[in-house]
Amino acid sequence: MPARENILFVPSYIEAHRSGRLAESRKRAYTILENCRLCPRECKVNRLEDQKGVCRTGRLAVVASWNPHFGEEGPLVGTNGSGTIFLTNCSLLCIFCQNWEISHLGEGSEVSSKKLADMMIHLQRQGCHNINFVTPTHVVPQILDALSYAIEDGLHIPLVYNTGGYDSVESLRLLDGIFDIYMPDFKFWDPEMARRYLKAPDYPEKARSAIKEMHRQVGDLSVDEHGIALRGVLLRHLVMPGGVAGTRDILHFIAKEISPNTYVNIMDQYRPCGNAKKYPPLDRSITDEEYEEALLAAREEGITRLDRRERRMRIVRLW
């Protein structure tokens, strides 16, 4: 049974703000930004002076869109949606990205910390169950800065760190006691596949370390009496054509080195976006058999908390 917590759950960042921990994490984050190593790329540019590295983001965060989102995992969506803030640019730059215009082309506008805080409050007022930062890795300092303003304005719903998994443990430790929900993807197990499709051969190693740190901080997913996520890790894995992702190895790692009680979304929606058509076998969608093999692998590895919404959607398509 999924863990359930008291309905009077208070997000960790409230106490972090009161104790001064949030302010200290913000200060340390901006120090990193001065010689940027927020992500494993470690460009070491001075983003405080608006210099830009791989993520092409300077001092200010860039936002593409923000709205209640109903396409996320069930525990995030609930009845009123997940308050999603799509942050522009990315340090991972997958060649098959389904948000190509945002991640690669930089679609979006720079926002101040106060404006970012106002977005959080507006989404909360719309009834969203959480604030879901999509691709936050390269703007951790800006999020922490905005969070202070949002708390003063009454923010009280959980924060979701929705990442591709290419995160630095140093940066994640700045979020300890501040973020309650982590939603990483684990894309590739083989360094050669990561080199080919992400230009990041160290991705598998960094993702393993990052996910372990996330789980150390917040543990397995816990939900309230309505099934809404409060705290913990939700892990995503996108099934890819030709088995290039290393799905079985990734699921084995999750079950043995994270927790067999990890909430996992085995995603079936891969389609060739971006430059994927130039990279067979990523130039095609996955087959029904490839997806079913992934579900079987999860069961055989002892993972049973699978996102049911995705599975229902798959059944509809099969019929």
β-bridge mates for residue 65, sequence order: 86
Contact indicator for 34, 259 with CB cutoff of 8 Å: no
The pair of structure tokens assigned to 45 is 């540019």
* DSSP secondary structure letters along 99-135: THHHHTT--SEEE-HHHHHHHHHHHHHTT-S-EEEES
CA distance 234 to 307: 9
Tell me the pLDDT of the chain (319 aa) as tens digits.
445 554 589 999 999 999 999 999 999 999 999 999 999 999 999 999 999 999 999 999 999 999 999 999 999 999 999 999 999 999 999 999 999 999 999 999 999 999 999 999 999 999 999 999 999 999 999 999 999 999 999 999 999 999 999 999 999 999 999 999 999 999 999 999 999 999 999 999 999 999 999 999 999 999 999 999 999 999 999 999 999 999 999 999 999 999 999 999 999 999 999 999 999 999 999 999 999 999 999 999 999 999 975 444 443 333 2
Using alpha carbons, select from 158, 313, 162 the residue that is nearest to residue 234.
Answer: 162
CATH dotted code for 7-232:
3.20.20
Q: What is the pTM of this model?
A: 0.94
CA distance 135 to 129: 19
Contact indicator for 82, 72 with CB cutoff of 8 Å: yes
User: Residue 235 carries which DSSP code?
Assistant: E
Residue with tokens 């990315």: 90
Vertex 148: Cα angle to 139 and 21 (nearest 5): 90
